[in-house]
Amino acid sequence: MPELRYACPWKYWELEKSIGYVILMAKEIRKHVEWCLLRYIPVSANRVNFITLPCLVLLLLSGQMILYSQGLIENNYGTNNLPSEIAWFFRPPVEFADHFGKYSSPLKFYDGSAVNTRTDWERRREEIKNTWNGIMGQWPPLIEKPKVEYMTKEHRKNFTRHKVRLEIAPRQQMVDGYLLVPDGEGLFPAVLVVYYDAETAVGLGKELRDFGQQLTKRGFVVLSIGTPEFCSLKPPYKPLYDSGRDEIPLQPLSALAYVAANCHTALARLPEVDPNRIGVMGHSYGGKWAMFASCLYEKFACSVWSDPGIVFDESRANVNYWEPWYLGYDPNRQRQSGIPSTDNPRTGAYEKLVLKGHDLHELHALMAPRPFLVSGGSEDQPERWKALNHTLAVNRFLKYENRVAMTNREGHSPTLESNEQIYLFLEYFLASSR
């Protein structure tokens, strides 16, 4: 007989866990009862316990009713019912539901006091953001009216592809990119796609990374950019901005987020774009970039992070936030590439963040209640729900559901299926009229 887990729900009945816990209980009841029915029904009639069987049926129906009521519970949290194609993105596997791992709760201030009201959460949110910016370095002033220079223009089947240059940093520093605009009139949703280069996302690079081109075919304005000289991936890795003699140097990954914020402004100023429906996405390196951009700049309406490694994890060589081109930049010493060790220790902001017990789930919480999708691959497998559950709890505290999503594939590279999941997510939250 299978083990009936969660047999004593009242022991764990905390407010922020109760809804998810009821659903888990219903699933466990149904599984348990179905097993019993399969065992009893084939038995001859003279051996059937006619008291036990009706009780099992009633238990099964009660479990089904709880699951059915889940949609009503979600509506009470202020969200619409999700299409079936994406609804499962927002459901942790049973084995990880309400498991919070080693990560500290964002619903507690750093001094240990609890967040009890929305006003408390706003203060806590500022505490997280100010703490991380204090360690990673402060941004330069945002550019109010970024320049956009149109270089070339090419009309494709149902959209126009512009080669552009955008102003993204102080002293009129620019980045090359592509702007894709669908045919037609009206305000379109938009997505900023970030990667090593601008060409890949518009179909001029590696297969299954043409996110921008595919989104434009679905009615999105897309801006695709690569790494600007402002935050180079080459030594000495210092962003081209003088933080000042006594200020914390700006970390490259935070500098990339600053670039994305200015790109958001450039998109929002375009006459074809709805400024309230702009998202950001990226894969791998671009996933890290998109994650920091959306978490640190609240004007992004939603975000997709494709297998960036969403938490610090020194057991995974590709979850390499310790590198000097991410968070390990140190003006006084240059570490060698590779997982931190005694001979090759942590440096820069990454060293300070780890020593102080911070992890990236704190940044995830800054997204609430804006939706995001982790398109997980080899670096972000289902156990990452232990970190994501913290942001799920923040959203429930704020009375929102269906804001934290994850899908999974085996490998790091995108697939046709994982890309379709990304497009469905972005269409629902940016393009659909709900």
What is the pLDDT confidence band of residue 13, given thresholds at 50, 70 and 90? very low
Please compute the mean of the pLDDT values over residues 13-17 and round it to a whole number. Answer: 35
Q: Look up residue 349 and give its two tokens.
A: 């902001």
Note the pLDDT tens digit of each residue in 45-99.
344 444 444 544 454 445 544 444 443 333 333 345 899 999 999 999 999 999 9
pLDDT of residue 29: 52
pLDDT at 7 over 90: no
pLDDT at 266 over 80: yes
Taking the C-alpha atoms of residue 228 and residue 168, their distance in angstroms, rounded to an integer, is: 9
Cβ neighbors of 433 (< 8 A, separation 6 or more) are none
What are the DSSP E strand ranges found in 267-318? 273-283, 302-306
Phi then psi for residue 38, to 5 deg, are -65, -30
Q: Look up residue 12 and give its two tokens.
A: 């764990």
CATH topology of domain 123-431: Rossmann fold (3.40.50)
Domain boundaries of the chain, sorted by first residue: 9-68, 123-431
Taking the C-alpha atoms of residue 324 and residue 322, their distance in angstroms, rounded to an integer, is: 7
pLDDT at 147 over 70: yes
What is the pLDDT confidence band of residue 242, given thresholds at 50, 70 and 90? confident
Question: β-strand 159-169 against 173-182: which pairing, if any?
Answer: antiparallel
Q: What is the dihedral of CA 367, 370, 374, 379, to 10 degrees?
A: 0
Share of residues in the chain with pLDDT > 70 (%): 81
Taking the C-alpha atoms of residue 284 and residue 282, their distance in angstroms, rounded to an integer, is: 7
pLDDT of residue 62: 52
pLDDT at 355 over 80: yes
Please compute the mean of the pLDDT values over residues 391-411 and round it to a whole number. Answer: 98
Note the pLDDT tens digit of each residue in 183-209.
999 899 999 999 999 999 999 998 899
- From the list 137, 148, 431, 138, the residue with the least C-alpha distance to 265 is 148
- From the list 246, 303, 299, the residue with the least C-alpha distance to 274 is 299
Q: Look up residue 420 and give its two tokens.
A: 């379709």
Note the pLDDT tens digit of each residue in 28-50.
455 444 444 444 444 333 444 44
Taking the C-alpha atoms of residue 67 and residue 202, their distance in angstroms, rounded to an integer, is: 42
Neighbours of 301 (CB within 10 A): 22
Taking the C-alpha atoms of residue 284 and residue 22, their distance in angstroms, rounded to an integer, is: 36
Taking the C-alpha atoms of residue 24 and residue 35, their distance in angstroms, rounded to an integer, is: 17
Q: Look up residue 302 and give its two tokens.
A: 């939603």
Cβ neighbors of 307 (< 8 A, separation 6 or more) are 283, 284, 287, 375, 376, 377, 378, 379, 380, 412
Share of residues in the chain with pLDDT > 90 (%): 78
Q: Look up residue 397 and give its two tokens.
A: 């505290």
Note the pLDDT tens digit of each residue in 154-179.
999 999 999 999 999 999 999 999 99
pLDDT at 124 over 70: yes
pTM over 0.85: no
Taking the C-alpha atoms of residue 309 and residue 178, their distance in angstroms, rounded to an integer, is: 27
Whether residue 364 contacts residue 310, with contact meaning beta carbons closer than 8 Å, is answered with yes
Eight-state DSSP code of residue 336: P
Q: Look up residue 325 and give its two tokens.
A: 């081109």
pLDDT at 268 over 50: yes
pLDDT at 274 over 70: yes
What is the pLDDT confidence band of residue 288, given thresholds at 50, 70 and 90? very high
